[in-house]
Chains A and B, each alone.
Chain A
């Protein structure tokens, strides 16, 4: 099971919107709408921002939203803020012997 593909970096100015893509295959993202997104600040543990494609956990800002089209999932951060600068990882359920696969990770920079 290969890692899901994410852009290495995405940047935006405060207040702007950015979108991070996460490309898999029909065996993971394409079949299951079970993608979760994690935010990780340096030296910290990851934190879930989106689960099951487009669901936001309690306490997560509504500036974060998730979607999916075909084999690609996306995370959009609107109204970009300095605190959003972090690494972001997608993760998909695969229904396979290895049931979870993470993305390669994207570094978000707030200019």
Chain B
């Protein structure tokens, strides 16, 4: 059974960057995609982007293009998401999720990123 474990909560200043991780265990890491999904407080889910390590392909949602960078370290079976130029409205829970064909399962536990001066 594939499991995704994410790094811990962070507090960041406006204008700074944050890099969070998502470690996979079980299964073959390179064979599937990992997506990142944002959920602002009390709001819905928003797809940010994803990576397929075996192909080295990365896609970003237009809304986040230029501010988000998604990478993967196959040897560490870990995916990363870096978000730059943080603003208070970026305060949210960020989830990673495995993409199996065209749906998301399982999901990581989520990381709360708080952007505040």
> Which residue numbers of A lie inside 8 Å of B, CB to CB?
1, 3, 34, 36, 38, 40, 45-48, 51-52, 57, 89, 91, 93, 97-105
Contacts and interface: CB of A to CB of B under 8 A. Distances in A.
A38 to B, nearest CB: 7
B102 interface: yes
Interface string B21-41: 000000000000001010000
Nearest to B107: A45
Given A47-B105, A51-B102, A104 B44 contact: yes
B85 interface: no
A91 B50 CA distance: 15
Interface string B78-115: 00000000000000000101000111111111100000
B104 A38 contact: yes
Contacts of A3: 44, 46
A98 B47 contact: yes
Interface residues of B, number: 22
Contacts of B47: 91, 98, 100-102
A109 B87 CA distance: 34
Nearest to A92: B102
25 contacts: A1-B61, A3-B46, A36-B103, A36-B104, A45-B106, A45-B109, A46-B107, A47-B107, A48-B104, A51-B101, A51-B102, A51-B105, A52-B101, A52-B102, A89-B45, A91-B45, A91-B103, A91-B104, A97-B59, A98-B61, A100-B35, A100-B47, A100-B50, A102-B37, A102-B46
